[in-house]
Amino acid sequence: MAGAVATDATGGPTSGAPAAERGDLSAWLAVAAGTLGALMATLDISIVNSALPTIQGEIGATGTEGTWVATAYLVAEIVIIPMAAWFERLLGLRTFLLIAAALFTAFSVMCGLADNLTMMIIGRVGQGFTGGAMIPTAQTIIATRLPRSQQPIGIALFGVTAIMGPVIGPLLGGWLTENISWHYAFFINLPICVLLVALLLIGLPHERSHLDRLREADWFGVAGLALGLGGLTVLLEEGQREQWFASELIWWMAGISAIGFAFLITGQLTAKRPVIKLSLLLDRQFGAVALMGIVLGVVLYGTAYVIPQFLAAIAGYNALQAGKIVLLSGIPSLLMMAMVPILLRTIDIRIAVAVGLAIMGGSAVLDSHLTTDSVGGDFIASQLLRGVGQILGMLFLSQAAIQSVPPEDAGDASGLFNAMRNLGGSLALAGIAIIQDQRLWFHTRRIEETLNANAAAVQERIAGMAQMLGGEPAALRLLSQQIQGQALVMTYNDIFTIMGFGTLLVLPLVLFLRPLPKNTSAAAMH
């Protein structure tokens, strides 16, 4: 998120010509290009969620390995978003976006052609790097190509894109999976990228590159972000399967992560302009906002991932049906976008954030009472509530992130807040994989302990099933499946409970927030 101010996505000098009094056709074409690029990037965060069970089966990935398909994209985004403004200054805005669009298309094709987990993850990492670059640059285009009087229109367009992209993703991915093939969830980016390139060539002027600035780069910070976050994510994702530090791989990942974060700190101390300004976290208000942003990311991305998985595994939903349920949360968010200016002027930020987080946490707790008979209809109320909490939490926290720092640091605050929220999503997906493994085993064993093989009721149950199914082996297999189903539902309930109460625990942090200035205008959101 970056405010519609005369700074780029990380607080650097804006690129492009100064905005005219009224934006001309080329300016609006540039805004359309930026919005389209951001839509494509946000859409691809979640387009695989509802299709993931199908994709896992075809590329030979287990359920826990499948989280990598979503996590890889988020981690790559975390690394690139703070670096986008530097690449923009280095290459020029149009050249940078043309390169990003071309590479995004190539990596999308790689994902669509993937027939194994490794190829899919490489493609998703590439998508995250190149797609993430198109999000803050869209905000830069709005701030530099439109006059201040017309920027609210551009911001509103971007806000709708930022909210609806992740929500429409599962529905679109589900429809393509059920009616054509999951491969087209990635191939659909080809025609979009062709249109994007045309709009960029028409709407943005060419700018001279400044490759000499390569010498000024915070290479320690760049390497630190990639190694630190990459190593930490692998450690969290693979730790449970590898028996944690009994595995040589986990020791290597821990070492790589430690080296990465050491590089990042070195960059903070030595670089003239660090790739990400971590010192902002020392500000009491911004530090509180960043922590709440992490929790917001946990619930946003965690629920969007878990709900389709539950509906596929327990309710037998296909990808399209699951996508429709995920879409519900976007309805109240979209309707409330028109009220953004009024909300900012009339609601105290502390009340708004508290209510938003309480609703988000409450909606997760509401989903923690599922049974093996639960279906999509059981998520309607929680999804609608989640949409309301999402707009309040994202909107006001994004404003607080920018307003809590000096104007010259607004872009850095925006990039760091985005990174924190995406980090929350990455941690959520890694944590879900760990909890799912541990709690599924725990609940399965506990249920089995209650079933005494010599008990009359158990013997009678097995005998009845054997008579219906044609033999005791078939009856025992069915009983095992029923135990697994019950244990899986209890595991999902645990996941929703943790997300819900984890969100409620950070509510006291709203006391560190300061009221927004009375003349605050909406900042763009991602």
Residues 337-365: what's their mean pLDDT?
Answer: 85
| Residue of 429, 432, 403, 431 lying closest to 417 (CA atoms) | 403
Q: Is the pLDDT of residue 430 over 50?
A: yes
Least confident of 170-174, 240-244, 428-432: 240-244
Q: CA–CA separation, 415 vs 80, rounded Å?
A: 10
Whether residue 457 is found in the same domain as residue 430: no
Most confident of 211-215, 225-229, 287-291, 473-477: 287-291
| Cβ proximity of 221 and 275 under 8 Å | yes
Query: Range of 481's domain?
Result: 440-490
pLDDT at 491: 94
Whether residue 375 is found in the same domain as residue 472: no
Whether residue 450 is found in the same domain as residue 435: no
| Cβ proximity of 415 and 9 under 8 Å | yes
Q: CA–CA separation, 41 vs 433, rounded Å?
A: 24
Whether residue 212 is found in the same domain as residue 238: no
Whether residue 349 is found in the same domain as residue 359: yes
Asked if the structure places residue 1 within a domain, the reply is no
| Residue of 63, 49, 362, 97 lying closest to 207 (CA atoms) | 97
pLDDT at 15: 43
Q: Is the pLDDT of residue 106 over 90?
A: yes
* 408 alpha carbon, distance to own chain's centre: 27
Least confident of 6-15, 117-126, 193-202, 432-441: 6-15
Whether residue 76 is found in the same domain as residue 199: yes
Asked if the structure places residue 336 within a domain, the reply is yes
Whether residue 74 is found in the same domain as residue 178: yes
Most confident of 43-47, 168-172, 274-278, 314-318: 314-318
Asked if the structure places residue 168 within a domain, the reply is yes
Q: How far is CA 516 from CA 210, 290, 301, 504, 519, in A?
A: 38, 17, 27, 23, 8
pLDDT at 521: 53
**Which residues, in sequence order, are CB contacts of 284 under 8 Å at separation 6+?**
512
Q: How confident is the model at residue 173 (pLDDT cuts 50, 70, 90)?
A: confident
Asked if the structure places residue 17 within a domain, the reply is no
Whether residue 50 is found in the same domain as residue 137: yes
For residue range 443-484, what is the model confidence (pLDDT) as tens digits? 988 888 877 766 777 777 777 777 777 776 777 777 778 888
Q: CA–CA separation, 276 vs 225, rounded Å?
A: 9
Rg of the chain over CA atoms, in angstroms?
24
- pTM of the full predicted structure? 0.76
| Cβ proximity of 46 and 185 under 8 Å | no
The mean of the pLDDT values for the chain is 81
Q: How confident is the model at residue 492 (pLDDT cuts 50, 70, 90)?
A: very high
**For the chain, give me the number of helices (H) and strands (E)?**
20, 0
Q: Is the pLDDT of residue 19 over 50?
A: no
Q: How confident is the model at residue 64 (pLDDT cuts 50, 70, 90)?
A: low
pLDDT at 63: 64
Whether residue 138 is found in the same domain as residue 81: yes
Residue type, 509: L
515 phi and psi, to 5 degrees? -60, 145
Whether residue 378 is found in the same domain as residue 447: no
188 phi and psi, to 5 degrees? -60, -20
pLDDT at 361: 92
- The shares of helix, strand and coil residues in the chain, as percent rounded to the nearest 5, are 80, 0, 20
Q: With b meaning 16 or more CB within 10 Å and e meaning fewer, what string describes 305-323?
A: bbbbbbbbbbbebbbbbbb
Domain count, the chain: 3
Asked if the structure places residue 208 within a domain, the reply is yes
Q: CA–CA separation, 191 vs 36, rounded Å?
A: 12
* 129 alpha carbon, distance to own chain's centre: 13
| Token code pair at residue 245 | 């530090």
Least confident of 303-312, 408-417, 479-488: 408-417
- Other beta carbons within 10 Å of 481: 10
Asked if the structure places residue 297 within a domain, the reply is yes
pLDDT at 1: 38
Whether residue 337 is found in the same domain as residue 223: no
Q: Is the pLDDT of residue 351 over 80?
A: yes
pLDDT at 9: 39
Q: How far is CA 373 from CA 310, 332, 378, 381, in A?
A: 11, 27, 10, 17
Residue 11 zone, left/alpha/beta (φ > 0; ψ -120 to 50; rest): left
Residues 238-262: what's their mean pLDDT?
Answer: 86
Whether residue 160 is found in the same domain as residue 242: no
Asked if the structure places residue 15 within a domain, the reply is no
Q: How confident is the model at residue 370 (pLDDT cuts 50, 70, 90)?
A: very high
Collapse the DSSP code of 140 into the 3-class scheme (helix H, G, I; strand E, B; otherwise coil) and give the result.
Answer: helix
Asked if the structure places residue 351 within a domain, the reply is yes
| Residue of 457, 440, 455, 447 lying closest to 483 (CA atoms) | 447
Residues 513-518: what's their mean pLDDT?
Answer: 71
Task: Tell me how far apart the 2 most distant CA atoms of the chain are, in Å.
Answer: 85
